[in-house]
Amino acid sequence: MKKTLLLFILVCSTYLYSQTSQYVEFPDIKSEVSPNKARIYIIRPTGKLSHYYITLSSNGDMIGRLDYKNYLCWDVNAGTYNLEGAFEGNKIRKDQTENKDFFTVNAKEGKTYYIRLSPGYGLTTGKASFDIIESEKAKEYIKKFPQPKVKYVN
């Protein structure tokens, strides 16, 4: 009984602790991408530098605040999207030597893009780096991780 209660408290605290917030509309991820849209997932799968949040923007617009073992997801029109990440408290592009990795998505209609956002140690502050993640691995993470808290009203 004690083990069950402890496990329950641990699971609940993990979900309550999650500070991932999304500032754009969150799509119905159980449905296919609309034929005239593309879907972008940004996934932060590791606990490395877990005590720092990463803020994410696309073409200068804030998308969300990403905690570890969480993800953000939003639909876009076809076009080019420049993704930028910075550790919470640092303005994006404040220090070019630390936050120098940016990522461009040339979104095509009907496609889904899975991108990993990984924190790393820099000389004076943390840095964020982007890379493509295989769709099967990304889908495993998405099933395990909680959906972000959406702070958006249409």
Q: What's the token pair of residue 23?
A: 């500032």
**More confident: 66 or 154:** 66
* pTM for the predicted model, two decimal places: 0.81
Is pLDDT of 100 > 90? no
Is pLDDT of 3 > 80? no
Residue 135 vs residues 2, 12, 81, 138, 139: alpha-carbon distances, Å: 39, 28, 19, 5, 6
- Edge-to-edge strand ranges of the sheet holding 112-121: 70-77, 37-44, 112-121, 126-132
According to the model, what pLDDT value does residue 95 have?
52
According to the model, what pLDDT value does residue 14 have?
44
According to the model, what pLDDT value does residue 82 have?
95
* 38 Cβ contact list (under 8 Å, min separation 6): 75, 76, 77, 78, 105, 107, 108, 109, 110, 111, 112, 113
Is pLDDT of 84 > 70? yes
User: In one letter, which amino acid is 87?
Assistant: F
- Mean pLDDT, the chain, rounded, equals 82
pLDDT digit string (tens) for 38-68? Answer: 999 999 997 666 667 888 999 989 999 999 8
Buried b (16+ CB within 10 A) or exposed e, 37-75: bbbbbbbbbeeebeebbbbbbbeeeebbbbbbbbbbbbb
Position 92 confidence tier, pLDDT thresholds 50, 70, 90: low
According to the model, what pLDDT value does residue 44 have?
92
Other C-beta atoms within 10 Å of 101: how many? Answer: 16
